[in-house]
Amino acid sequence: MTSALASPPRTSLSTLAQDFSIRALNGPLGAEINGLDLNRNVTDHDIAAIRAALVQHGLVILRDQRITQQQHVAFSRRFGPLQIHVLNRFRLPQHPEILVVSNVVENGQPIGLVDAGADWHSDLSYMPTPSLGSLLHAQELPAEQGDTLYANMFNAYDTLPADVKKTLEGRRAVHSYVYRYLRLQKLSPWRADLTQKQIDEVPPVEHPVIRVHPESGRKALFVNEGFTSHIVGLPPEESTALLKLLHEHTIRPENVYTHKWRAHDIVFWDNRSTVHYAAITPQHLRRTLYRTTVEGDVPF
């Protein structure tokens, strides 16, 4: 997908504390915010406008944000409590709310989670209260590769055949961190065995296959390739086939936006209405980003 900006509409926010604009991307989701500086005062009115854009577009890009780790955490908290990732190895010691996503290896050890985006997923869908959204701040970017892909789960649901919608109605699915971790561990040399304490922190949970967005009221698919192990009440073969169908339907090219990172970008996406994927970047192309995750609510 192209990430070119659509010419109209342009929403002027000159009445707010900061004069910034929001432009919808020319694609299935996303909007770009220009003129906002997180080093300056960000009012509650500004936060409300950003949140409204997030709900409407599924993803917002805040360009050229040269901020500290502390500012990243503080800004993220304006949208809700932050969730701490179970992999304490890759949390910043000074700011455990920040998960380091990186392919950089120093002294034989990765400095961050190398394969964080290695399959399509919604962050922390394996939690009883999954994430509202994630804020990923670019620290070091490669000259090539390193893109992140996002799919619109409102569109994925809306475009399902009627008979599939009927099959899914009222169904629930199991989301499991350990399910995904063990699969990725087979592909990655950097994933150490989980401790029993870590396993106990993330027991499997059930969520509706179709969720209603708590702010927009729209229906979205809420299953993903990464964490959804099976659909409750279906024979294993039928569950696997149905999840495969839903995944392939979700990531059709017309439903996917590809984000090509620029220096100091913050991308804030709605985990209630999107899934995302980022192929592992080769080690010689250094890529490091910092991620915070905002807690959401129980899906319904």
Residues with catalytic annotation? Answer: 121, 123, 276, 291
β partners of residue 290:
100, 137
For 294, the enclosing helix (H) or strand (E) is: strand 288-295
CB 154 within 8 A of CB 219: yes
- Of 147, 129, 171, which is closest to residue 296 (Cα–Cα)? 129
Distance in angstroms (rounded) separating the CA atoms of residues 221 and 246: 9
Longest dimension (CA), the chain: 56
Distance in angstroms (rounded) separating the CA atoms of residues 300 and 297: 9
Classify residue 121 by its DSSP letter. B
For 202, the enclosing helix (H) or strand (E) is: none
